[in-house]
Amino acid sequence: MSIIMHDLAGADPALRFSPYCWRTRFALAHKGLPVETIPWRFTDKAAIAFSGQERVPVIRDDAAVVSDSWAIAEHLEDHYPMPALFGGATGRAHARFVNAWADAVMIGGIARLIVRDIIDVIDVKDRDYFRQSREARFGMTLEAVQEDGRKTRVGTFRESLLPVRLVLRRQAWLGGAAPSYADFIVAGTLMWPRCSSRFAVLADDDPITEWFSRVRDLYGGLGRTAMMP
């Protein structure tokens, strides 16, 4: 039986743009596990109430219900060990650092560059919720956040990715000779701006751009064929 996954969708149900759901999509594809995704919108809290919380990704795998992309990666590794996402306990512990870094640095950095554009791709019923919750977080309009971000923060954001660049100078993937969950964390996060905005968060000649392209080619082009706005 397929794993069922609640996956954040836009007004067009084929548009999938959550950085956390993309981490899970890549992880499932890496394991070769069939998945049936159910489009979910920010205001569909009731549809995932069975998970005991209000965010996606949520997966249902037989009797197990797991939410949170990190917990899902651990669940998959524990129940379907090969091909490995983490390569053992220490690899898993170290991947948690990459996950924390992506959450602390990439998510906030990217949000300031694309948060207004997201309004244009999400479902009409989600717009008030999205604007109000995000404007409360930033303390200004989404238009002001994004305009300021693109004017003053693009360089800082790109510089903040230096650790990824330094690693890719030495190895083909963040996972070493082959992709690991570390690749899916960073590439999954980059799928978010790719699938919700036309703004280029990376420079064309950034080595990260070349690596990200290779990640999108994996698993039959899962990332390459994803709908873009």
- Strand order across the 58-61 sheet: 35-40, 3-8, 58-61, 64-67
Among 1, 82, 89, 124, binds a second copy (CB under 8 A): 89
Count CA atoms closer than 13 A to 95's CA, side-chain side.
27
| Residue 131 engages a second copy in binding (rule: CB under 8 A) | no
Residues 90-119 that bind a second copy (CB under 8 A): 90-98, 100-101, 103-105
User: Could you tell me the two tokens for 58?
Assistant: 């949520």
81 upstream amide cis, omega within 30 of 0? no
Identity of the residue, 74 or 123, whose beta carbon is nearer to a second copy in the bound complex: 74
Q: How far is the CB of 68 from a second copy (least distance, A)?
A: 12
Among 4, 35, 38, 84, binds a second copy (CB under 8 A): 84
Residues 148-187 that bind a second copy (CB under 8 A): 162-164, 166-167, 170-171, 173-177, 180, 182
Contact 201, 193 (CB under 8 A): yes
Contact 55, 24 (CB under 8 A): no
Residues that bind a second copy (CB under 8 A): 84, 86-98, 100-101, 103-105, 162-164, 166-167, 170-171, 173-177, 180, 182
